[in-house]
Amino acid sequence: MTGRLTRITVLALSLAVLLGTPGRAAEKVTFMIDWLPAGDKAVPYLGVKKGLFAAEGLEVTIQSGRGSSDVVTKLGTGAADIGTGGLAALLQAKAETNVPVKAVYAIYTKQADAIFTTEGSGITSLKDVAGKKIATATFSSSNVAWPLVLRANGIDPASVQMLKVDPGALAPMLAAGQVVATINWVTVAAAFEGPVGEAKKKLVVLPWSNYGYDGYGLSLFVSEKMLRDRPAVVKKFVKAYAEATRMAIADPKAAAEALKAMVPEIDVATAEKQFVSSIPLMVNDVSRRDGDGAFDAKLLKTSWEWVAKAQNLPLDKLDPETAVDRAAAK
């Protein structure tokens, strides 16, 4: 009797699974990276290529945004479901318009902003920039914190001659000696090596995190609508993304190759270098202390304080806790 019952149960269950299969079509997710495809953005490509998202029942399409604030806007309007961007951009947008987007996972637990200069330029530390001509991208998120970082290090921002240019002009200007330094994320360094090397110069990178600029950088953003309507999808995505990150850190070359397979214009060697340069931003004392992806309340507050000071916003304009949702990363 029990044997028969078991057999019926098994039969019923297999039938349910069979019937259930068509209904379990892959969940579509549009994922937007914050800038054009490059080595430091290889993680989602590796996740797609290795089938990590597919294993969670997700069909992920990757789109390239045009800056962190573009990603926040696209998520807010529903043009994309999940994306990456600098946390500062989200905090600023939250404070100003209360955009319905939240950060769910901290990718960079150190700030990626840095001074790029060349050997022999006379700049060996942050204080040397006083009186020098420096170029930055017109819409770079770094521009917001820059004067504060200078002031925190006892440098008058007015003493630095700033030039705002197109991002594509930064490396040529540095290589040609039109400026003595540029402001970039450390992850772009490998791409600078072409022009700087052609000019027979050697690139020097001075990360702002060495000068007291703390806070969360690149993070995963999700629209509040997505968190409300498809929380399970967000959870699965974060799980697969975290796994892809671990795989990429263990094998940066595989990550670069996965990127190349989906974006054929990529140069694997440069992409690998770019990804390797982003590893210290992800694996560091903060990530070891708090765990992967976690937002520590104190560091989150520090991140907001930098933004508030830079934007001249009152500190109580935003409770930074309202900009994050920690449930998805659990």
Residue 297 to residues 17, 308, 322, Cα–Cα distance (Å): 43, 16, 11
- Stretches 46-54, 148-156, 195-203, 250-258: which one binds another protein (CB under 8 A)? 195-203
E strand spans, the chain = 27-33, 58-64, 82-86, 101-106, 113-118, 133-137, 161-165, 181-185, 203-207, 218-223
- Cα–Cα distance between 29 and 60 in angstroms, integer? 5
Task: Please identify which residue in 121, 143, 270, 302 interacts with another protein, judged by CB under 8 A.
Answer: 270
Which of 166/229 has CB closer to another protein? 166
Work out how close the CB of 169 gets to another protein at its nearest, in angstroms, rounded to a whole number.
8
| Secondary structure (3-state) at 146 | helix
Which of 117/303 has CB closer to another protein? 117
Task: Please identify which residue in 175, 226, 238, 255 interacts with another protein, judged by CB under 8 A.
Answer: 175
Residue 47 to residues 59, 80, 196, 281, Cα–Cα distance (Å): 11, 18, 33, 19
| Number of residues binding to another protein, judged by CB under 8 A | 34
36 binds another protein (CB under 8 A): yes
Task: Please identify which residue in 31, 34, 38, 111 interacts with another protein, judged by CB under 8 A.
Answer: 38
DSSP single-letter state for residue 139: T
86 binds another protein (CB under 8 A): no
Characterize the bridge pairing of strands 218-223 and 101-106: antiparallel
189 binds another protein (CB under 8 A): no
Maximum pairwise Cα distance, the chain:
90
Task: Please identify which residue in 34, 53, 73, 258 interacts with another protein, judged by CB under 8 A.
Answer: 73
Work out how close the CB of 80 gets to another protein at its nearest, in angstroms, rounded to a whole number.
7
Which of 3/264 has CB closer to another protein? 264
Which of 63/161 has CB closer to another protein? 63
- Cα–Cα distance between 196 and 199 in angstroms, integer? 5
**Token duo for residue 327:** 């449930």
* β-pair partners for 135: 163, 182
Work out how close the CB of 267 gets to another protein at its nearest, in angstroms, rounded to a whole number.
7
Characterize the bridge pairing of strands 218-223 and 82-86: antiparallel
Residue 43 to residues 38, 238, 242, 244, 282, Cα–Cα distance (Å): 10, 12, 9, 6, 12
199 binds another protein (CB under 8 A): yes
Integer-rounded Cα radius of gyration of the chain: 22
90 binds another protein (CB under 8 A): no
74 binds another protein (CB under 8 A): yes
Side chain identity at 289, as an amino acid letter? Answer: R
34 binds another protein (CB under 8 A): no
- Cα–Cα distance between 19 and 67 in angstroms, integer? 44
- Cα–Cα distance between 136 and 148 in angstroms, integer? 15
313 binds another protein (CB under 8 A): no
Residue whose entry in the numeric block shows the structure tokens 């931003």: 281
66 binds another protein (CB under 8 A): yes
- Stretches 28-36, 51-59, 113-121, 234-242: which one binds another protein (CB under 8 A)? 28-36
138 binds another protein (CB under 8 A): no
**Token duo for residue 42:** 């290889």
245 binds another protein (CB under 8 A): no
- Stretches 70-78, 83-91, 119-127, 275-283: which one binds another protein (CB under 8 A)? 70-78
Which of 32/126 has CB closer to another protein? 32
Q: Which residues bind another protein (CB under 8 A)?
A: 30, 35-38, 62-66, 70, 73-74, 77-80, 166-168, 171-172, 175-176, 191-192, 194-195, 198-199, 264-265, 267, 270
